[in-house]
């Protein structure tokens, strides 16, 4: 499997954020997306996730499921940790697993891997910032998708949780998955670097 971008352009608020962008991510590869504030890292990740329109260029997932969009074969974890605050941690993970199609490890095992098992019955609205991020990341495990699109995934995570996420990404690429992560700091795993150009 291979994600290929050719001549990508992204327009936001009437301004060209980037254009003529080309790259490929191979199965079993992690890529860290770097560059200064405002250069378009989040925009690129959202564009691949199908949340921002492609202004020009091509994006294709070679060896993927021809009947599914790239977004349907990807996990997108952005700055906002999507969850329902009134539902418990366990109910939230159940919702996402059902909504996105499951196929990964069991929900309890995922919560345990992310150190949230003791909080399973707590309304998610009471979680701390790092716990919320870990809850958002739990669907990487319960729903099997080859492409992980992660925007600043280490944000809010303590050292131990960063190590856990590093291990999850390592396991994913060892199994032939792909990771594209926007980051301003170390990703904690061997990764190829994709640098976006200077922001104005
Ligand atoms: N919804 C929007 N409408 C208009 N402009 C936007 C929108 N979202 C982002 N932009 C602009 O697009 C540019 C790229 O933003 P983006 O969030 O992709 O940058 P980034 O590289 O992820 O930055 P950071 O390192 O600060 O997270 C910025 O100039 C930003 O102001």
Write down the pLDDT at residue 200. 45
Q: Establish if 200 belongs to a structural domain.
A: no
Write down the pLDDT at residue 193. 95
ipTM confidence? 0.96
Q: Establish if 152 belongs to a structural domain.
A: yes
Average pLDDT over the chain, rounded to whole?
94
Return the residue whose CA atom lies nearest to atom 8 of ligand 1: 12
Write down the pLDDT at residue 79. 84
Question: For the ranges 53-57, 98-102, 138-142, 152-156, which has the lowest average pLDDT?
Answer: 98-102
Q: What is the distance in A from the centroid of ligand 1 to the CA of 15?
A: 10
Q: Establish if 190 belongs to a structural domain.
A: yes
Percent of the chain whose predicted confidence (pLDDT) is above 90: 88
2 CB within 6 A, ligand 1: no
Task: Flag whether pLDDT at 199 surpasses 70.
Answer: no
Taking residues 113-132, what's their average pLDDT?
A: 96
Report the atom number in ligand 1 closest to the C-alpha of 35.
Answer: 21
Q: What is the distance in A from the centroid of ligand 1 to the CA of 40?
A: 6
Q: What is the distance in A from the centroid of ligand 1 to the CA of 158?
A: 26
| Distant-in-sequence, close-in-space partners of 139: CB < 8 Å, separation ≥ 6 | 75, 93, 96, 97, 100, 110
Q: Assess contact for 75 and 141: CB atoms under 8 A.
A: no
| Secondary structure (3-state) at 107 | helix
Alpha helices (H) along the chain: 41-48, 89-100, 107-113, 129-137, 139-142, 159-174
pLDDT, tens only, 63-102: 999 999 999 999 999 988 788 999 999 999 999 888 888 7
Taking residues 185-192, what's their average pLDDT?
A: 92
pLDDT tier at 198, thresholds 50, 70, 90:
low
Taking residues 115-142, what's their average pLDDT?
A: 95
| Secondary structure (3-state) at 63 | coil
Q: Establish if 53 belongs to a structural domain.
A: yes
More confident residue, 98 or 23: 23
Which of 17, 195, 196 gets mutated to test ligand 1 (max ligand atoms within 8 A of its CB)? 17
46 CB within 6 A, ligand 1: no
More confident residue, 81 or 119: 119
Return the residue whose CA atom lies nearest to atom 7 of ligand 1: 12
Q: What is the distance in A from the centroid of ligand 1 to the CA of 66?
A: 31
13 CB within 6 A, ligand 1: yes
Write down the pLDDT at residue 190. 94
Label the pairing between strands 2-12 and 29-34: unpaired
Residue 123: C-alpha distances to residues 68, 70, 132 (Å): 33, 32, 11
Return the residue whose CA atom lies nearest to atom 11 of ligand 1: 12
191 CB within 6 A, ligand 1: no
For the chain, what is the domain count? 1
Q: What sign results for the dihedral spanned by CA atoms 93, 98, 99, 101?
A: positive
Domain that residue 24 falls in = 2-195
The domain that holds 66 is classified in CATH as 3.40.50.300
Q: What is the distance in A from the centroid of ligand 1 to the CA of 41?
A: 8
């Amino acid at each position: 499997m291979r994600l290929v971008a050719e001549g990508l352009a992204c327009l936001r608020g009437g301004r060209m954020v980037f254009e003529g962008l080309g790259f490929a991510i191979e199965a079993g590869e992690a890529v860290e997306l770097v560059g200064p504030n405002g250069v378009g890292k989040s925009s690129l990740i959202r564009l691949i996730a199908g949340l921002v329109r492609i202004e020009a260029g091509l994006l294709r997932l070679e060896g993927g499921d021809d009947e599914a969009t790239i977004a349907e074969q990807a996990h997108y974890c952005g700055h906002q940790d999507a969850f329902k605050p009134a539902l418990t941690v366990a109910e939230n993970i159940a919702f996402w697993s059902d909504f996105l199609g499951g196929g990964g490890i069991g929900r309890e095992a995922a919560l345990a891997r992310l150190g949230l098992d003791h909080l399973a019955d707590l309304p998610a609205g009471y979680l701390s910032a790092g716990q919320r991020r870990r809850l958002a990341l739990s669907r990487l495990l319960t729903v099997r998708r080859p492409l992980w699109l992660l925007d600043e995934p280490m944000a809010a995570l303590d050292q131990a949780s960063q190590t856990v996420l590093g291990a999850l990404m390592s396991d994913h690429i060892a199994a032939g998955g792909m990771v594209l992560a926007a980051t301003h700091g170390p990703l904690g795993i061997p990764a190829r670097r994709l640098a976006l150009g200077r922001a104005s």
